[in-house]
Structure 1
């Protein structure tokens, strides 16, 4: 592990005598929290641009100074301290990033809330978690007004009302000091926009995160890029992990409070963005908008949802070998990566595990051999720290082939049992998506009196194309097994997606 640490420090220019001094003195000053990353970055990159959003542009020196001041103001005005809980209900913007660093510096726990959640879910969360402070966007003010939350709260941005951006103009005592702290944790609340949320706790640790960080450096060649655009939500584990990685590397990071394909293409063109984090739906929309604006991209890091083979082929054809497929979960973090070369091996693969990850595939409580389908169980040092077992059940079904490549077959609750036969809807989806007239597809299981369950397909045809059930079944029949043929096919104008870019099968029926 020490060798790995030295290798990473060397790659990010911290192994020189001066670099080591910055590293060690930052730990002494800050403690082990995410402000440590920013403190080192500020000393290393100084006036280089760190963060850009729709409102402002900050250098590493400016970002660090503002985060330090904000931590003092939050301590003085809101008494935020070790053990407190601070929640964020925010889109991607500078105020969110500043507040996360400042709160971590104070040793308080950071709760990242899905800004797309319902009001009833928000009410449930504030009653369960007893937050000491809540930072929220003005557009979500109705959530606060209609909730039982009664403790301290503050807007992220506002011209006149109390807000994070206005706190930065507060005068703080010159002799105020903050003791170093290593107690802050990052808590993600999973389950998307429906259902009861589950806490997933991650403790910042230099040694624990060496392997995923080193893998991102090597497989995605992150050291060679200058500008990154985080299009995915920071409140999601994927978004915040990439943010911290880019800050540690001294990159210029572009963020925006909402994704819009036209605006995203403009940002990529104006900032000459080289690497972008996306969910597959974002890639699809940007390709439809302007391929020319995407020509500067040399790394498209896709995660958070399945990557369909047709999209893989389209990206390769229009932009070259730039697409990477990242597989991880909120609980287990990043675990598997498919490089462009891996996607040439198979457009369906999610790649190979990264160093430090153990994966076993389990069916009926027994580990299965290569080629057999089961649930992914994952163990690593950077997974959530509030679990009862070191092995995390992901809920994802899949298999590993004889060459060590992993493939997804859907979620455990997606599997359909028809007349005693296990059917994985993703297998049928991956066949249907290759039909030349199909834009998007989702397959679900439905109840059936005779077989227990059968398949139902929802088809989004390509623009200006017409499809008919009988013709589509005839096309599909020689390509799948008889038991995989959908009993029903429904044509839709647009499939429903969640805020995180996954097809929302709960809304299909």
Structure 2
């Protein structure tokens, strides 16, 4: 109850007039994402809501376009509650309007990863049998090669029927849409390899009070005016932060893809205060133009491990502005590290948020602080298609006696060499402290005698030279003898996935930089 009152107060819902407006909106439209506009239509409708590469929408325009789109999707395509509406879109206003419209109709929303392969898309079409597909034109070829046969609508087109054209059209129907509550939101996780996992979340105000309150309070979001979401909306992290910012009536900037030069220009132009990123994005922006980032007071990093070296660089150049968010698609947001936490422990994930129950487990049993095990999580806002109350994250780490959590790697990152259990993260962090090393990854290579041996792939800063012997000699004073790689391979660039995670599978195929 305290979190509910706290959130309603920060959203300015506690006045009698605003509570009345909220109740009226629920009665007329149902409980869905369109409720976010119940205040802005009166108190902030002319405020800028969304900025993308095509233009700017204020809150009144975003609401009207989403309402028109919902009516036309129902009128022309027969979309009703329970239909499966899939989105194959990058970050832009049409995608956001489509999500609001589908939610207003009570449809189940499926968010597809834009980096998926033809095989993955074919599999999803067969397994889920979508009723309607909203997509970007660049994915037309992939869709045409699939077995998808149902109705579809492109996000943008100058002459053909599209989301952008429908949202600015006036519906013919005179009767209002019946009230409808949101269906489920399904995140189809996974990158370019492997089978995507289905993660189902059922929108519920009460279920999501704790993570929303954590974002409001620990990141102090209500105090800021402008946010730039650089991470994909189709990830749980992206859509959660987008809806949080819109609920607060902020100006939100989105772009279809991330480019460090463009990102720095946007931050400078709009005097962005909050940016959501993966660590690689922060690194690239600092490297391109750190002066352009001077307006930032909250950098919310998530989606990948945050290196202590990067924490130090951000603090040195920008001050105490970096936050580390830990969550998974299945379990949602669960841990946050504030700038103070990162100052004291640069390698921490932070502390658990209220309502999140975390255990560090080995062989099915919770272990004592300091011992490495798998993170298992139970909360009210995790996925609803799992029969288990506790979700096994696949992440390995430990909790210290003060309640701080530390990530060591994935369960499949564990390297067993000559009987020693080795997690690459500690070795990678040590190597990244060398002034010539920009990036590094350590993997295990099969060995007849040791089981596995360590091999490091190292990316040096431009114009830096380093021999394998010199780097190994430097490393020997910083890690245990069993953590020393048998071989170091220098590479021009390490591979990352489209969402900024190190692609360890592709590392195996990398070759040495030519001398």
Range class of TM-score, shorter chain = over 0.9
Q: Helix, strand or coil for the counterpart of 2:441?
A: strand
Show the counterpart of 2:480: 481
SS of the counterpart of 1:324? strand
**Aligned match of 1:431:** 430
Unaligned regions of 5+ residues in structure 2, if any? 509-515
Matched pairs, number: 508
Structure-2 change in CA distance of 1:88 and 1:68 (3 Å): same
Indicate the RMSD between aligned Cα atoms, in angstroms: 1.1
What is the 5 A alignment of 1:95-244? 95-244=94-243
Give the 5 Å matches for 1:44-443.
44-443=43-442
Cα deviation for residue 484 of structure 1 reads: 0.9
Whether the 8 Å contact between 1:34 and 1:204 is mirrored in structure 2 is: no
Runs of 4+ displaced beyond 3 Å: 38-44
CA contact (8 A) 2:65 2:168 kept: no
- Over 3 Å counting, the alpha-carbon distance change for 1:171 and 1:34 in structure 2 is closer
Cα displacement string for residues 66-104 of structure 1 (whole angstroms, at most 9, x for unaligned residues): 101100000011111111111111110000000000001
Q: Secondary structure at the match of 2:412?
A: coil
Q: Secondary structure at the match of 1:389?
A: coil
Structure 2: distance between partners of 1:163 and 1:185: 24
Distance in 2 separating the partners of 1:154 and 1:298:
39
Shift of 1:116: 1.1
Checking the alignment, whether the CA contact within 8 Å between 1:138 and 1:155 is kept in structure 2 is yes
Shift of 1:30: 2.3
Distance 1:435 1:30 in 2: 58
Q: Is the 8 A contact 2:33 2:182 kept in 1?
A: no
Secondary structure of the residue aligned to 1:410 is strand
Give 1:290 deviation, angstroms: 0.8
* Counterpart-to-counterpart distance in 2, 1:191 and 1:446: 25
Partner of 2:513: none
Q: How many angstroms does 1:420 deviate by?
A: 2.1
Tell me the TM-score normalised to structure 1 length: 0.98
Q: 1:43 and 1:130, CA in 2 relative to 1: closer, same or farther beyond 3 A?
A: farther
Q: Is the 8 A contact 2:85 2:102 kept in 1?
A: yes
Contact 1:22 1:43 in 2 (8 A): no
CA contact (8 A) 1:230 1:253 kept: yes
- The question of whether the paired residues in 2 share the 8 Å contact of 1:83 and 1:183 is answered with no
What's the offset of the Cα at 1:401?
A: 0.7
Q: Which residue is equivalent to 1:16?
A: 15
Q: Which residue of 2 aligns with 1:37?
A: 36
C-alpha displacement at 1:183, in angstroms?
4.4
Q: Is the contact made by 2:228 and 2:254 (CA closer than 8 Å) also made in structure 1? A: yes
The Cα shift of 1:159 comes to 0.4
C-alpha contact (below 8 Å) 2:273/2:296 kept by paired residues: yes
Q: Deviations over 1:29-77 (max 9, x none)?
A: 2222222223344344211111111112111111111101100000011
Contact preservation (8 Å) 2:52, 2:93: yes
TM-score by length of 2: 0.97
